[in-house]
A = this chain, B = another copy of it.
Amino acid sequence: MAGIKDLARECGVSVATVSRALNGHPEVSVETRRQVQQAAERLGYRPSQSARALVRGRSDAVGLLWDSGYETAGRKHPFLLSLLVGLKQALSDVGRHLILLNVDVDRQGPRAYLDTARQFQVDGVIVMGVDDHRPALRELFESSLPCVAIDHDIAGPRACCVTSDNRAGAVEAVRHLHDLGHRRIATITGPVDLMPAVQRLRGFQQAVGELGLDLPDEYVQNGDFFMDSGYACGRRLAGLPKSRRPTAVFVAGDEMALGAMHAFADAGLDVPEDIAVVGFDDIEAASLVRPALTTVAQDSLALGTAAVSALLDFVDDRFGDRPAPESPILTPTRLVIRQSCGGGR
């Protein structure tokens, strides 16, 4: 591995000049720069990340804090995984890398997140899929380390939140059902201590209100994002007397939506003939089942891009005097029409 010294020798200049030439300092002569760049190319020179990070106090890497209990793996939050792809892509576009930080908060105590991030000198951290109530998170948000959480409503001097426009997505879904002629529209919610779940519920309520629809209590069923809860809620809706039974359901998560569809099938109801279903997230299974699920897709690339750019805004703000966004940064959703509401292709 060629080091900067080899390169300097090769070019007959000092290491300082090599460094300046490669880092785009304006003072080096065009001729020198060209020569150094060519030699670097030729020798396959790459500056050592560690040396650079050590001397500059930053690493051009961002850390990812992500509690992925194994047992629950992809099962738990399938969407997180596509989020990861979005992040990777967004970082790739700005020439940074992602370090999956493994931190055991239970063993390392409340400063674990922060200390680990500093130890790696990451420029900032992105947080997703973690338990909201950890003191270690507070410690992190309240520090001066740039920090962006996806789907967690947090605040701090250099911390903000990025999330899909869950509310608007829910509104669009309900409007779609209304356009299709549905007037009795129910919902199955996610766990109401999760921000996306409450925003989707709010959007549902808002749309239902704006459209002047009836909303009996039993039209709001509480699930937990997993399939079994969707099934249970679906059974309850299917069990309503026909005259009060909803003709459509907005389900706040695809996995629950599939559960609900199974419940409807078991109750002898046809989807979409007897009851229409819209999900949320657009997980892989949504397009794999029959009838394929109409759903509100999150844009994981947009989310990743927004998260990265919010993070870099903090990083670029050397003095930390720019105020952090006070409300979540929202990313648009998109209604993907398939067969579960009829009206699809």
* Contacting pair B102 A99 (CB below 8 A): no
Residue among B54, B91, B101, B104 making CB contact with A50, cutoff 8 Å: B54
* Contacting pair B100 A97 (CB below 8 A): yes
Tell yes or no: A265 within 8 A of B by CB.
Answer: yes
A68 CB contacts on chain B under 8 angstroms: 85, 88-89
* Contacting pair B115 A44 (CB below 8 A): yes
Distance of A45 from chain B, by nearest CB (Å): 9
Q: In chain A, residues 298-330, which have Cβ atoms closer than 8 Å to a Cβ of chain B?
A: 300-301
Tell yes or no: A180 within 8 A of B by CB.
Answer: no
Given A81-B84, A85-B74, A289-B289, is A118 in contact with B284 using a C-beta cutoff of 8 Å? no
Given A100-B97, A288-B255, is A51 in contact with B54 using a C-beta cutoff of 8 Å? yes
* Contacting pair A119 B47 (CB below 8 A): yes
* Contacting pair A98 B100 (CB below 8 A): yes
A288 CB contacts on chain B under 8 angstroms: 227, 255, 258, 285, 289
A287 CB contacts on chain B under 8 angstroms: 227
Q: In chain A, residues 70-101, which have Cβ atoms closer than 8 Å to a Cβ of chain B?
A: 70, 73-75, 78, 81-82, 84-86, 88-89, 91-92, 95-101
How many copies of this chain are found per oligomer? 2
Give A59's nearest chain B residue, CB to CB.
B50
Residue among B44, B78, B98, B284 making CB contact with A111, cutoff 8 Å: B44
Residue among B1, B53, B285 making CB contact with A284, cutoff 8 Å: B285
Tell yes or no: A19 within 8 A of B by CB.
Answer: no
Distance of A308 from chain B, by nearest CB (Å): 12
Query: Interface size class for chain A?
Result: 35 or more
Give A261's nearest chain B residue, CB to CB.
B290
Tell yes or no: A37 within 8 A of B by CB.
Answer: no
Distance of A130 from chain B, by nearest CB (Å): 14
Tell yes or no: A32 within 8 A of B by CB.
Answer: no
CA distance A59 to B54 in the complex (A): 13
Tell yes or no: A283 within 8 A of B by CB.
Answer: yes
A86 CB contacts on chain B under 8 angstroms: 70, 73
Give A94's nearest chain B residue, CB to CB.
B102
CA distance A1 to B111 in the complex (A): 12
* Contacting pair A70 B89 (CB below 8 A): yes
* Contacting pair B102 A97 (CB below 8 A): yes
CA distance A89 to B1 in the complex (A): 31
Which of A52, A283, A284, A288 has the most B CB atoms < 10 Å from its CB? A288
Distance of A88 from chain B, by nearest CB (Å): 6
A99 CB contacts on chain B under 8 angstroms: 61, 97-100
Tell yes or no: A116 within 8 A of B by CB.
Answer: yes
Q: List 23 A-B contacts (CB under 8 A).
A: A1-B118, A44-B115, A46-B115, A46-B118, A48-B54, A48-B119, A48-B121, A49-B50, A49-B119, A50-B53, A68-B85, A70-B86, A75-B284, A81-B81, A81-B84, A88-B100, A97-B99, A97-B120, A98-B99, A255-B288, A265-B290, A285-B289, A288-B289
